[in-house]
C-alpha cells in the first residue's frame, strides 16, 4: 500500500521544507486525482526495467551517496554504480542489491556486504502488481500539494497517506502529464530523492545472483 511506502521513507527521513509553488498542507484528493495516484505503482511495474538516479544526503555530507541503477521492479533487483562520499571526493563502485542483499564488485567478483540500507530499500516499494484502492486513498490523509514545472513539463505533486491517518507522512510522489512517476522524495531535495529517468536500462550482469525472483 502507498501508506507503507510513506512509512519506510518517514522512518529514516524528516521533512525540512517545501518547494516554491507547493502547498505545505495540500488539498484532499479529487476523484480524478485519487484514481491517478491509485495507478502509480502498478504503472511502474508495467514499464519494465527502469533507470533510477538516487541521491541521499547533501552533496558535501561525508555520508552522501548517489546511485545510478537499473531496477527490475518485478524481480526486485537493481544493479549499477554507487558514488560514495562528498561529491568532490566521491569513490565509484559497481553494486547490485535486492531487498535482502547488497553486493559490491571487487576485482570482477561480487562480494556480499551488510544488510541493505533501510532508505535504499524504498526503491522496491515503487512498483506493485495491482492498482491501489482509489476510494480508500480519497478517504485517507493523502494530499495534492500542487503543480510545478520540471525541465519544461508540468508535474503533479502528491503527499502519500500516513499509516494510521495521523498526518505525519512526508513522502511525496511527482507525476508527469501522462501519470508516470518521475520522482519520489522524503519532503525535500537532500535527504532522499529518487528520480525515474528515461535512460536506457542496462542488462543484468552475467552471473549476478541476488536471491530474487529471477535468481
Element (H, E) at 158: strand 153-159
| CATH fold of 2-194 | outer membrane lipoprotein receptor (LolB), chain A (2.50.20)
Q: What is the pLDDT of residues 125-158, one digit of tens each?
A: 999 999 999 999 999 999 999 999 999 999 999 9
Q: Where are the beta strands (DSSP E) in 33-76?
A: 50-56, 65-72
pTM across the whole model: 0.86
Q: What is the pLDDT of residues 88-126, one digit of tens each?
A: 898 999 999 999 999 999 998 999 987 788 889 999 999
Q: Is the dihedral of CA 16, 22, 27, 29 positive or negative?
A: negative
**Strand 153-159 relative to strand 143-150: parallel, antiparallel, unpaired?**
antiparallel
Mapping DSSP to helix (H, G, I), strand (E, B) and coil, where does residue 46 land?
A: helix
Q: Is the pLDDT of residue 84 over 80?
A: yes
Amino acid at each position: 500500500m502507498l501508506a507503507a511506502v510513506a512509512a519506510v521513507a518517514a522512518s529514516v527521513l524528516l521533512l525540512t521544507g517545501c518547494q516554491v509553488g507547493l502547498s505545505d498542507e495540500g488539498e484532499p484528493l479529487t476523484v480524478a486525482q485519487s484514481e491517478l495516484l491509485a495507478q502509480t505503482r502498478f504503472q511502474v511495474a508495467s514499464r519494465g526495467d527502469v533507470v533510477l538516479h538516487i541521491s541521499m544526503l547533501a552533496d558535501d555530507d561525508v555520508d552522501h551517496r548517489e546511485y545510478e541503477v537499473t531496477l527490475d521492479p518485478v524481480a526486485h533487483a537493481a544493479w549499477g554504480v554507487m558514488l560514495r562520499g562528498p561529491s568532490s571526493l566521491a569513490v565509484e563502485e559497481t553494486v547490485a542489491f535486492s531487498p535482502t542483499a547488497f553486493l559490491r564488485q571487487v576485482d570482477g567478483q561480487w562480494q556480499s556486504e551488510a544488510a541493505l540500507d533501510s532508505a535504499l530499500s524504498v526503491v522496491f516499494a515503487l512498483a506493485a502488481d495491482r492498482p491501489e484502492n482509489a476510494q480508500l486513498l480519497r478517504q485517507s490523509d493523502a494530499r495534492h500539494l500542487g503543480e510545478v514545472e520540471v525541465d519544461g513539463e508540468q508535474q503533479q505533486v502528491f503527499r502519500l497517506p500516513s499509516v494510521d491517518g495521523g498526518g505525519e507522512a512526508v513522502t511525496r510522489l511527482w507525476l508527469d502529464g501522462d501519470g508516470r512517476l518521475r520522482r519520489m522524495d522524503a519532503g525535500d531535495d537532500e535527504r532522499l530523492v529518487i528520480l525515474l529517468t528515461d535512460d536506457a536500462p542496462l542488462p543484468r550482469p552475467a552471473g549476478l545472483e541476488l536471491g530474487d525472483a529471477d535468481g
